[in-house]
Amino acid sequence: MATLRSYVQGSWYSPADSADSGRPLHDAVTGEEIARISSAGVDFAGVLEHGRRVGGPALRELTFHQRAGLLKALAGHLREHRDALYAVSARTGATLGDSKFDVDGGIGVLQAYASTGRRELPNDTVFVDGAVEPLSRGGTFVGQHVATSLRGIAVQVNAFNFPVWGPLEKLAPAFLAGVPSVIKPASPTAFLTAKLVELIVDSGLLPEGTLQFVAGGIGDLFDHLTDQDLVSFTGSAATAARLRTHPTIVHRAVRFTAEADSLNLSILGPDAAPGTPEFDLYASGLVAEMTVKAGQKCTAIRRAFVPEQHVDAVVEAVSARLAKTVIGNPAAEGVRMGALASLEQREEVRRCVKTLADAGRIVYGDAEKVEVLDADAERGAFVSPLLLTADPDRAEPHEVEAFGPVSTVMAYTGTEQVVELAARGQGSLVGSVVTADPAFARDVVLGVAPWHGRLLVLNERDGKESTGHGSPLPALVHGGPGRAGGGEEMGGIRGVLHHMQRTAVQADPDTLTAITGRWVQGAQRTETDVHPFRRHLEELRPGDTIVAGPRTVTQSDVEHFAEFTGDTFYAHMDAEAAAANPLFGERVAHGYLILSLAAGLFVDPDPGPVLANFGVDNLRFLTPVKFGDELTVTLTCKQLTPRDSAGYGEVRWDADVTRQDGESVARYDVLTLVAKKEGAQ
Ligand code: NAP
């Protein structure tokens, strides 16, 4: 039987063991042995060294946008080959729907990070985090946070239930941040991750050393970690606790995040009685969470809290739906729920269900028996969906995670009580509240939020378009406090910044501009003969400035603007009312008139490299402008963001509109698209 290969130090490595040794991996549906897994002989210190020496420098040479471009290309490549992944995925017990959840979900994460990278990160290798902090009266000493790529490796230990999504959701933010990855899949389904890595390596898209793959244990790898490395773990709380207390993790302060077990809840609102759309959403949501991936989802609903008076109706509705769920060989027509990932996993689920049943009773299903289509229920890792009821005051339902198609319904009598029961899960990934009552939703969400990473409020209004309870989304935090691990694996830009070091840089404005490539207030401005709007992207430099004005604001300007736009607010038009206004004391110009006059001053009207103005950021009106005031605008090129795939880029300008006495009346960033030189792409 073939032993899975690892992809380390630039090539595929077959374990030193003879082909028959290593841990056997089985087809979850037939029980047949598929492969063996062993990492015997892998040089783990060498793996880390290869990533640091080869992968890290190659990645850090690329800008965020270039890395995003590679992630996009990789997503496209994997999409083209997803049938090959579905085929292997079926052997983990997954139905086609489950496989899509895993495979397409993973590809979706790559895509999401590709667009986040281009949208929210600069076309640069340093991320400027937040605003400049003034630190001195004279403005010669300022502070700015910057984030730079850690110089180490992201070691990614994954759980068995998402062999494609799991690795990709960790790879994407690390790659975008400029940190190479070492992927270690969970053994039972590692054959699918191996296929994924094979496709990635064959694509030739990722620079060498940016992705390595270890099939099997990770030996002494942790001993060789340094302060620049990270470990992202997904799996059980017990393993998380063991790994996070490894002496190297502790002594070298290695960044360690865990996504662990979670006793996720779903709460039915008292308003959602049988017959309401919310009741149906609740019942169908619970069934989906029990049966998709045969309940092997870290986000699946384990605790179903239901108003006392609706418990029987919920049990009845859920049981009726479960009875219609065909279980069996994922390849067979009509099968809705496949097998668990392994026979060991089934034993573990049965053991947990026994404990849960001691605290209540099974109201649907039999843990030892299940009817299956086109498969042998015993040789394959099949188990029936199991619905239980329990006394909410027992500890077990809040503590025991049966990682399969298992949920426990518990009755509650009031909002305060259900919030208190929620907290007994000691920290969860996700919770849902199904209600059409906004007041109940507010009380529950704000009550249980400290114990949750994500909360879904579901009702008739969002039910159709909702992505559901169990789907983590790349743009939103995925992770949870306490028992759920305390980590944030995903979550858009947060996941990227986790792989970077944030540093507060204190300097004078000119030096800070040189360091970050972004002009900051107080730094030198360069007034040139050529209007900056006549310059192409490559010719512009941060600091290029035009000063235009003055222009006197008159009463007739204000009245003309008021009549023309219809904005006849009293502060502009009614002298008596304006005099009574505590902020103005007399009639003042419209803020938008100031913006318009400023544009009239700085714009160069002829066709040229400036293609469009696509917005303003950070607009503040600072001082009222009165009739007779003279306005001058200083427009300074602040930041250039070339787009790799277009003949133009974004230019951010600092606009400072001042009065005759030098006082700023308005400040904002003007956002424009500026063409590259002809022919440039
Ligand atoms: P697990 O037994 O804790 O294993 C998780 C990973 O840790 C596997 O890759 C495993 O590799 C590895 N591992 C175990 N012992 C290790 C050690 N001493 N040193 C290094 N690595 C070690 O969990 P699992 O059974 O795969 O996954 C099921 C659990 O994961 C469930 O409890 C579920 O709730 C949780 N989960 C959480 C999330 C989340 O996002 N929060 C997502 C999915 C699953 P081997 O397989 O080779 O031992």
Query: Containing H/E element for 311?
Result: helix 311-323
pLDDT above 90 (res 261)? no
User: Which ligand 1 atom is the nearest neighbour of the CA of 159?
Assistant: 26
Per-residue pLDDT of 123-135, as tens digits, reads 999 999 999 999 9
Question: 550: cis peptide before it, omega within 30°?
Answer: yes
pLDDT of residue 18: 55
> Distance from the CA of 231 to the center of ligand 1, in angstroms?
13
Quickly tell me which residue has 């030193």 as its tokens.
16
597 pLDDT tier (thresholds 50, 70, 90): very high
For residue 244 the two structure tokens come to: 């996070």
* Structural domain 525-675, CATH architecture: Roll (3.10)
* CA 240–ligand 1 middle distance (angstroms): 8
In Å, how far are 88, 147, 196, 287, 409 from 312, measured between CA atoms? 41, 54, 45, 16, 10
Pairing of strands 648-658, 664-675: antiparallel
Tell whether the model's pLDDT for residue 351 goes beyond 60: yes
Note whether 340 and 383 are within 8 A (CB). yes
Tell me the CATH class for 265-467. alpha beta
Q: Which residues line ligand 1 (CB under 6 A)?
A: 157-161, 184, 186-187, 217-218, 234-236, 239, 242-243, 259-262, 298, 401, 403, 429, 484-485
Cβ proximity of 73 and 205 under 8 Å: yes
Task: Identify which of 169, 239, 399 to mutate to test ligand 1's pocket (most ligand atoms within 8 A of the CB).
Answer: 239
Distance 55 CA to ligand 1 centre (A): 26
What's the chain's average pLDDT?
Answer: 96
The residue written with tokens 């007994």 in the block is: 424
Check pLDDT > 80 for residue 376: yes
Nearest-CA residue for ligand 1 atom 5 is: 235
Q: Confidence class of residue 534 from pLDDT cuts 50, 70 and 90?
A: very high
Q: Annotated catalytic residue: which of 169, 278, 289, 298?
A: 298
Parse the chain into domains and list their residue ranges. Answer: 6-124+151-260, 265-467, 525-675
Q: Model confidence over 202-236: pLDDT tens digits?
A: 999 999 999 999 999 999 999 999 999 999 999 99
Two tokens at 89? 């995925």
Q: Which pLDDT score, from 0 to 100, does residue 644 have? A: 84
401 assigned to active site: no
pLDDT (tens digit, 9 = 90+) per residue, 445-487?
999 999 999 999 999 999 999 999 999 998 898 899 999 998 8
* DSSP per-residue codes, 223-258: GG--TT-EEEEES-HHHHHHHHT-HHHHHTT-EEEE
Active site residue 259: yes
| Residue nearest (by alpha carbon) to ligand 1 atom 9 | 186
CA 494, CA 56: separation in Å to the nearest integer? 20
Which residue from 23, 183, 234 has its CB within 8 A of the most atoms of ligand 1, so it is best to mutate? Answer: 234
Q: What is the pLDDT of residue 115?
A: 95
CA distance 4 to 184: 12
* Candidate from 41-45, 158-162, 491-495, 504-508 with smallest mean pLDDT: 491-495
* String of DSSP letters for 518-547: S--TTS--EE-SS-GGGS-GGG--TTEEEE
Q: How far is it, in rounded angstroms, from Cα 379 to Cα 83?
A: 26
pLDDT score of 626:
97
Spatial separation of the C-alpha atoms in residues 6 and 265, rounded to whole Å: 38
Distance 238 CA to ligand 1 centre (A): 9
Q: Render the burial of 289-326: b for 16+ CB within 10 Å, e for the rest.
A: bbbbbbbbbbbbbbbbbbbeebbebbbebbbebbeeee
Percent of the chain residues past pLDDT 70, beyond the cut: 99
Q: 6-124+151-260: which CATH topology?
A: Aldehyde Dehydrogenase; Chain A, domain 1 (3.40.605)
Of 545, 509, 511, 508, which is closest to residue 528 (Cα–Cα)?
Answer: 545
Predicted confidence (pLDDT) per residue in 633-669, tens digit: 999 999 999 998 899 999 999 999 999 999 999 999 9
- Is it true that 6-124+151-260 and 265-467 share their CATH fold? no
pLDDT tens digits for range 2-12: 899 999 999 99
Distance 101 CA to ligand 1 centre (A): 19
Mean pLDDT of 531-551: 96
The answer on pLDDT for 681 being more than 90 is no
157 with 225: CB under 8 angstroms?
Answer: no
pLDDT score of 19? 54
Output the pLDDT for position 285: 98
Smallest Cα–Cα separation from 616: which of 647, 657, 571, 584?
657
Instruction: Please provide the size of the chain in residues.
Output: 681
